[in-house]
């Protein structure tokens, strides 16, 4: 610091607290051979401003409250001081209050009593010296000369200045004339932005200024010239190049004026040396990596050296094919395949092939190279309690096509050069093959050449000699079968029937077709007549776009097709029909459903991300806890990792508190809160029917400790004479609310038992698995219900190497088989036995002979149906509530409230007739003898609007707004609402009102003409409705 002291920042507050009591400063001086300790007296004190933060609140309820009382009332939020902001003149207090917190982490909000108030960062005004008018210091620390703030002159002060043209001392020429204290001064604006960055991001002034400079970079001409001239590797000195070569594993053997002899660093003998030109010009295939700001061409040169000297050949393939002569590897379970492949290294994916082999993609080429020499495939089978290793012979070979990529170049200089010479000349860029594209007839060669690279990363450009040539991704033509004319397979693998490519008939072939009207087998009706091989065929265009996405984005065909389907959504006729059949679009209902669908996934996205990455986090924990096992590329077994490291499933957070002496639910809320707070941080505490308490903890560690509690201690009485009461306590976890259930559909898990599935997916927190059977319970399906040990359901899991989506499990609505009502079971039923077929309470289902079904849950006016019918409106409602409960992770009560908000009830009350003006006026006034107005009524007719008074229109407008929110806002309702709003401001013309009475039967025409009249009135035009009468 300027006064000779040291400003020290500690990483931990405990260490800083200990340092406050220090009295000596001890350090060592001298060299290593003769060091000695020196001790100096020391005084330690906390920094005045940097250990705190300041924020601003605006609270009207704090008027007339002193600053001391405000600081005392908000002390629980760490407020140490409060200061009210006064007006500019400093005479009138405002509602803005500056709070000083005792920590650098300022809260986003505080509660003033029961009022939640937002806390904004306090941004002080820029510090300007009133002596030299510069920013960054005050008048007391100024070393500059006195300067006039009006004209920037140093010959006089502000009081004696008579200049008519203001000038700022902080701004250069070319700025708009202004004084130094002008708030629009560019320097003031800059300092204000720096202070804003400093306050909002909790940075020092120096760091905030650096952030500002990064957002507002300045580049001089000299810097541009320097950067431009430093891009050639030949301009580098020998010492710089030697340092660069060492970073790439090369050792300099000899240096000269124009050449360097290099060899790999680990080769100490007289190994093979390579004579390479120092200033060799190499291509710029990609952006330079982050290598300390080194020149790009030098990095490209060293990459070239590394490829030719160290790699000594093409890159090792990453995608291999595993085959076994004894057993088809694809017949193994996903967990056995994963266990066997993980022993070879880090695997990206493992897919089954049609011939029974496995297609395995490695993350690192070195591991793939080692796997090429493998001869045995070892995996474990059995459960965690008794696993055994199985070894079968293995044959490994690289994939023929997926370890490379193809690009197209157009180079006029390569005409007359053979394909072999082109591939050999471009070998430095990883080109293994070249093929010239011929014309359609295959007789004339073109300048377009297809290059095959030994890597899946296609370069953007290469150099043919000294010519820079751009590389475009090669997009092959869609694969069409010449037998059935379908896309996606060839003639050799076709299972369809022979089809004519001209007329789509299966009775003859192309040679014998005499149809005059072409027809495509891939397109439906309504398309322009064309043949299957037409290039304008919509199916061909679609497949071409998918192949383009596959080539340009380096995706699989399945992934490319998904990308195409997302950008080209299909709209069925059933989706279009309801919107077209409705009298008017329900905009409010659509908006509410859109908001709910958009934000339902966002609420749990962070939690699902954590759950989705749980295996990686646990694997990392296993490596840190057992370093000796990190040498083995195969991770710990699922059961071992869960029992050794995790020590069982996750601790539950929702517990049930019971007491044998007293019902805990009978305690007061304050007593329950006092007793539960002694166990830790509580989220909620709800009473149960049996007198117990359902307590949710914020931390699982505190809940685990509470499981061992035997006493429930709380205080009773007032503050003057409180006493502690202790009663026996029994704590147990909640049976269902500490877990979640999801459904997966995985074809690879057929034949795998439920126990093996749960054991194989234990890394994802699966504790149980149950396969869903068909309705009759005889045939198993591919749908499996998984029970997770957490309430955060993951969005996807991996079954082996297969990524499987997890859908929330939505159970069927709970219906009582005794009284046929929903919401409870037969064991807890208090109602009378009811027939599920006819809703009679005189007999049961077995003795019912009624021919007309009737549901006990539905009222009159419904289609006749029984209580167990799946189309029952009550069943559909309960099913929707259960869906909301499962997808949004809500309680049944909360899910029912969400459903009721999106499905408001409509009254069956009769609206007044159109000609009954008095009845409609009573509805508008809402004070008629009939009582309150039912929100289910339709809005009044246009005649009522024209006849209403101004006082009645206000009540009518409120009624319309409330009615529109519940029912949706259609075209006709918008016309009524518009009419009321317009009438409140300006009455309608008399002739328009008279015409509306005449056209009262034609509601749509009246509404349209009314809007025309309103627009004409607002824009000062004539009544546009007159010509259309």
**pLDDT computed for residue 260 by the predictor:** 41
* pLDDT tens figures, 7-42: 888 888 888 889 989 998 888 876 656 778 888 899
Asked whether the predicted pLDDT for residue 669 surpasses 80, the reply is no
State percent of the chain over pLDDT 90.
15
Asked whether the predicted pLDDT for residue 589 surpasses 70, the reply is no
* pLDDT tens figures, 125-135: 899 999 999 99
Asked whether the predicted pLDDT for residue 313 surpasses 70, the reply is no
* pLDDT tens figures, 517-548: 899 999 877 778 899 888 889 999 999 999 99
Residues ≥6 apart with Cβ < 8 Å to 746: 334, 782, 784, 799, 802, 804
User: From 1.20.1050.10, 3.30.70.120, 3.30.70.330, 3.40.50.720, which CATH number describes the 319-398 domain?
Assistant: 3.30.70.330
**For residues 228 and 904, which has the higher predicted lDDT (pLDDT)?**
904
**pLDDT computed for residue 989 by the predictor:** 57
In which element (H, E) is residue 388 found? strand 388-393
Q: Where are the domains of the chain?
A: 53-121, 139-218, 226-269+298-311, 319-398, 405-473, 610-626+638-646+738-808, 654-733, 917-1028
| The pair of three-digit structure tokens given for residue 1014, joined into one six-digit string | 């309103």
Looking at CATH, the fold of the domain delimited by 405-473 is given as: Alpha-Beta Plaits (3.30.70)
**pLDDT computed for residue 572 by the predictor:** 55
610-626+638-646+738-808: CATH number: 3.30.70
* pLDDT tens figures, 460-501: 899 888 788 999 999 998 999 999 999 988 888 888 899 999
User: Across-strand partners of 731?
Assistant: 657
Q: In what order do the strands lie in the sheet with 395-398?
A: 347-352, 358-362, 319-323, 395-398
Asked whether the predicted pLDDT for residue 986 surpasses 90, the reply is no
| Contact assessment for residue 654 and residue 694, using Cβ atoms and an 8 Å cutoff | yes
**pLDDT computed for residue 961 by the predictor:** 56
Residue 845 exposed, middle or buried by CB count within 10 Å (0-12, 13-18, 19+): middle
**pLDDT computed for residue 344 by the predictor:** 92
Task: Give the whole-angstrom CA distance, residue 489 versus residue 495.
Answer: 10
What single DSSP character describes residue 641? Answer: I
Task: Give the whole-angstrom CA distance, residue 820 versus residue 869.
Answer: 12
The whole-number average pLDDT for the span 298-305 is 50
How many other CB atoms sit within 10 Å of the CB of residue 300?
19
Rg, C-alpha atoms of the chain: 40
State percent of the chain over pLDDT 70.
68
The CATH homologous superfamily to which domain 654-733 belongs is RRM (RNA recognition motif) domain (3.30.70.330)
Q: CA nearest 700: which of 638, 786, 791?
A: 791
Domains 53-121 and 319-398 share a fold: yes
Looking at CATH, the fold of the domain delimited by 53-121 is given as: Alpha-Beta Plaits (3.30.70)
| Contact assessment for residue 128 and residue 190, using Cβ atoms and an 8 Å cutoff | no
| Contact assessment for residue 347 and residue 341, using Cβ atoms and an 8 Å cutoff | yes
Question: What's the number of CA atoms in the CB half-sphere (13 Å) around residue 83?
Answer: 11
**pLDDT computed for residue 335 by the predictor:** 84
Task: Give the whole-angstrom CA distance, residue 99 versus residue 55.
Answer: 5
| The pair of three-digit structure tokens given for residue 46, joined into one six-digit string | 């906390």
Angle, helices 538-553 vs 557-567, to 10°: value is 120
Write b or e for each residue in 494-513: b if 16 or more Cβ atoms lie within 10 A of its Cβ, otherwise e: eeeebbbbbbbeeeeebeeb
φ, ψ (nearest 5 deg) of residue 348: -85, -50
* pLDDT tens figures, 685-737: 888 888 899 998 988 889 999 999 999 998 887 556 778 999 999 999 988 88
Asked whether the predicted pLDDT for residue 937 surpasses 50, the reply is no
| The pair of three-digit structure tokens given for residue 950, joined into one six-digit string | 């101004």
Asked whether the predicted pLDDT for residue 1020 surpasses 50, the reply is no
Residues ≥6 apart with Cβ < 8 Å to 275: 259, 260, 261
| The pair of three-digit structure tokens given for residue 774, joined into one six-digit string | 């068909």
**pLDDT computed for residue 649 by the predictor:** 52
Chain centroid offset of residue 333 CA: 32
**pLDDT computed for residue 7 by the predictor:** 85
Cα end-to-end distance, the chain, whole Å: 88
| pLDDT averaged over every residue in the chain | 75
The whole-number average pLDDT for the span 216-237 is 51
Asked whether the predicted pLDDT for residue 409 surpasses 80, the reply is yes
Asked whether the predicted pLDDT for residue 915 surpasses 70, the reply is no
The whole-number average pLDDT for the span 990-1014 is 56
**pLDDT computed for residue 992 by the predictor:** 57
Residue 901 exposed, middle or buried by CB count within 10 Å (0-12, 13-18, 19+): exposed
**pLDDT computed for residue 954 by the predictor:** 59
**pLDDT computed for residue 441 by the predictor:** 72
* pLDDT tens figures, 724-741: 999 999 999 988 888 889
Asked whether the predicted pLDDT for residue 656 surpasses 60, the reply is yes
* pLDDT tens figures, 369-405: 899 999 999 988 876 667 889 999 999 998 888 888 8
355-359, 379-383, 667-671, 798-802: the lowest-pLDDT one: 667-671
Asked whether the predicted pLDDT for residue 56 surpasses 90, the reply is yes
Task: Give the whole-angstrom CA distance, residue 952 versus residue 970.
Answer: 23
Residue with tokens 């990453």: 318
Cα→Cα distances 427→400, 420, 433, 684, Å? 19, 11, 9, 68
Q: CA nearest 312: which of 280, 284, 274, 286?
A: 274
**pLDDT computed for residue 8 by the predictor:** 87
**How do strand 24-29 and strand 461-464 relate by DSSP bridges?**
unpaired
**For residues 903 and 812, which has the higher predicted lDDT (pLDDT)?**
812
φ, ψ (nearest 5 deg) of residue 38: -125, 135
Asked whether the predicted pLDDT for residue 280 surpasses 50, the reply is no
3 state DSSP class of 194: helix
Question: What's the number of CA atoms in the CB half-sphere (13 Å) around residue 440?
Answer: 1
**pLDDT computed for residue 527 by the predictor:** 79
* pLDDT tens figures, 966-984: 455 454 555 555 555 555 5
* pLDDT tens figures, 559-574: 888 889 888 887 655 5
Cα→Cα distances 274→252, 263, 530, 833, 858, Å? 11, 7, 62, 96, 90
**How do strand 802-805 and strand 780-788 relate by DSSP bridges?**
unpaired
Task: Give the whole-angstrom CA distance, residue 270 versus residue 264.
Answer: 11
3 state DSSP class of 768: strand
How many other CB atoms sit within 10 Å of the CB of residue 779?
8
290-294, 671-675, 791-795, 1018-1022: the lowest-pLDDT one: 290-294
Asked whether the predicted pLDDT for residue 890 surpasses 70, the reply is yes
Residue 557 exposed, middle or buried by CB count within 10 Å (0-12, 13-18, 19+): middle
């Amino acid at each position: 610091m300027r006064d000779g002291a040291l400003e020290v920042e500690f990483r931990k507050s405990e260490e800083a607290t200990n340092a406050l009591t220090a009295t000596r400063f001890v350090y060592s001086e001298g060299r290593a051979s003769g060091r000695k300790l020196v001790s100096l007296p020391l005084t330690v004190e906390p920094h005045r401003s940097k250990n705190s933060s300041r924020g601003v609140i605006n609270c009207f309820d704090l008027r007339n409250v002193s600053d001391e009382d405000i600081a005392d009332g908000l002390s629980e939020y760490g407020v140490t001081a409060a200061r009210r902001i006064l007006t500019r003149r400093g005479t009138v207090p405002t509602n803005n209050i500056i709070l000083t917190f005792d920590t650098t982490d300022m809260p986003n909000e505080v509660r003033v009593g029961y009022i939640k108030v937002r806390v904004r960062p306090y941004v002080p005004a820029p510090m300007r010296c009133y002596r030299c008018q510069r920013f960054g210091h005050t008048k007391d620390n100024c070393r500059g000369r006195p300067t006039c703030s009006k004209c920037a002159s140093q010959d006089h002060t502000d009081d004696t200045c008579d200049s008519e043209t203001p000038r700022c001392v902080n701004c250069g020429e070319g700025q708009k004339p202004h004084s130094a204290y002008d708030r629009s001064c560019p320097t003031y604006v800059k300092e204000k932005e720096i202070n804003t960055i400093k306050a909002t991001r909790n940075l020092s002034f120096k760091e905030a200024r650096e952030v500002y400079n990064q957002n507002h970079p300045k580049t001089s001409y000299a810097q541009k010239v320097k950067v431009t001239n430093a891009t050639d590797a030949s301009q580098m000195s020998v010492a710089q190049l030697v340092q660069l070569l060492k970073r790439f594993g090369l050792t300099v053997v000899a240096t000269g004026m124009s050449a360097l002899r290099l060899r790999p660093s680990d080769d100490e003998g007289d190994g093979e040396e390579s004579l390479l030109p120092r200033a060799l010009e190499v291509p710029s295939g990609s952006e330079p990596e982050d290598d300390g700001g080194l020149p790009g061409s030098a990095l490209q040169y060293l990459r070239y050296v590394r490829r030719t000297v160290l790699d000594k050949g093409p890159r090792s393939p990453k995608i291999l094919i595993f085959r076994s002569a004894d057993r088809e590897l694809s017949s193994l379970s996903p967990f056995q395949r994963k266990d066997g492949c993980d022993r070879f290294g880090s695997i990206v994916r493992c897919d089954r092939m049609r011939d029974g082999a496995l297609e395995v993609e490695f993350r690192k080429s070195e591991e793939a190279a080692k796997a090429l020499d493998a001869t045995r495939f070892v995996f474990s089978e059995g459960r965690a309690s008794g696993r055994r290793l199985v070894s079968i012979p293995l044959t490994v070979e690289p994939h023929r096509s997926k370890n490379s990529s193809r690009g197209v170049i157009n180079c006029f200089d390569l005409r007359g050069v053979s394909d072999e010479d082109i591939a050999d000349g471009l070998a430095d860029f990883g080109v293994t093959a070249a093929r010239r594209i011929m014309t359609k007839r295959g007789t004339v060669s073109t300048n377009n050449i297809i290059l095959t690279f030994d890597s899946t990363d296609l370069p953007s450009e290469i150099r043919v000699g000294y010519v820079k040539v751009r590389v475009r991704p090669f997009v092959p033509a869609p694969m069409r079968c010449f037998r059935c004319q379908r896309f996606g397979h060839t003639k050799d693998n076709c299972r369809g029937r022979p089809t004519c490519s001209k007329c789509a008939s299966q009775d003859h072939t192309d040679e014998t077709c005499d149809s005059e009207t072409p027809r495509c087998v891939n397109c439906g009706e309504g398309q322009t007549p064309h043949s299957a091989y037409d290039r304008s065929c919509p199916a061909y265009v679609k497949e071409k776009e998918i192949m383009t996405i596959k080539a340009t984005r380096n995706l699989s065909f399945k992934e490319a097709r998904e990308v195409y389907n997302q950008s080209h959504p299909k709209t069925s006729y059933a989706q279009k029909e309801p919107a077209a059949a409705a009298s008017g679009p329900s905009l409010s209902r659509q908006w509410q459903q859109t908001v709910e669908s958009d934000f339902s996934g966002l609420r749990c996205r962070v939690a699902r991300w954590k759950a989705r990455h749980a295996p990686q986090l646990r694997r990392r924990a296993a490596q840190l806890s057992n370093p000796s096992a990190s040498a083995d590329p195969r991770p710990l077994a699922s059961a071992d990792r869960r029992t050794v490291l995790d020590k069982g499933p996750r601790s539950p957070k929702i517990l049930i508190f019971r007491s044998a002496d007293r019902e805990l639910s009978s305690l007061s809320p304050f007593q329950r809160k006092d007793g539960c707070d002694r166990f830790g941080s509580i989220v909620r505490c709800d009473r149960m029917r049996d007198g117990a308490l359902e307590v949710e903890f914020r931390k699982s560690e505190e809940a685990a400790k509470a499981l061992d509690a035997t006493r429930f201690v709380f205080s009773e009485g007032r503050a003057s004479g409180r006493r502690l009461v202790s009663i026996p306590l029994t704590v147990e976890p909640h049976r269902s609310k500490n877990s979640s259930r999801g459904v997966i559909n995985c074809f690879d898990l057929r034949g795998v038992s439920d126990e093996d599935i749960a054991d194989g997916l234990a890394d994802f927190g699966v504790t149980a698995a149950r396969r869903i059977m068909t309705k009759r319970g005889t045939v198993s399906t591919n749908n499996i219900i998984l029970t997770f040990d957490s309430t955060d359901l993951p969005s996807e899991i991996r079954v082996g190497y297969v990524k499987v989506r997890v859908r929330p499990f939505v159970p069927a609505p709970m219906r009582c088989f005794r009284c046929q009502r929903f919401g409870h079971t037969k064991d807890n039923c208090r109602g009378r036995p009811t027939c599920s077929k006819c809703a009679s309470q005189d007999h049961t289902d077995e003795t019912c002979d009624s021919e007309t079904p009737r549901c006990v849950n539905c009222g009159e006016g419904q289609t006749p149906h029984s209580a167990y019918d799946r189309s029952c409106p009550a069943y559909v409602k309960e099913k929707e509530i259960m869906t909301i409960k499962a997808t949004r992770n809500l309680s049944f009560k909360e899910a029912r409230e969400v459903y009721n908000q999106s499905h408001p009830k409509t009254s069956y009350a009769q609206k007044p007739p159109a000609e009954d003006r008095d009845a409609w006026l009573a509805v508008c006034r809402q004070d008629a003898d009939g009582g309150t107005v039912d929100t289910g009524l339709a809005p009044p007719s246009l005649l009522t609007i024209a006849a209403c008074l101004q006082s009645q229109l206000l009540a009518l407008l409120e009624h319309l707004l409330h009615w529109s929110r519940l029912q949706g806002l259609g075209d006709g309702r918008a016309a009524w609402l518009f009419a009321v709003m317009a009438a409140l401001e300006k009455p309608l013309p008399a002739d328009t009102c008279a015409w509306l009475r005449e056209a009262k039967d034609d509601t749509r025409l009246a509404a349209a003409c009314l809007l025309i009249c309103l627009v004409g009135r607002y824009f000062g035009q004539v009544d546009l409705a007159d010509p259309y009468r």
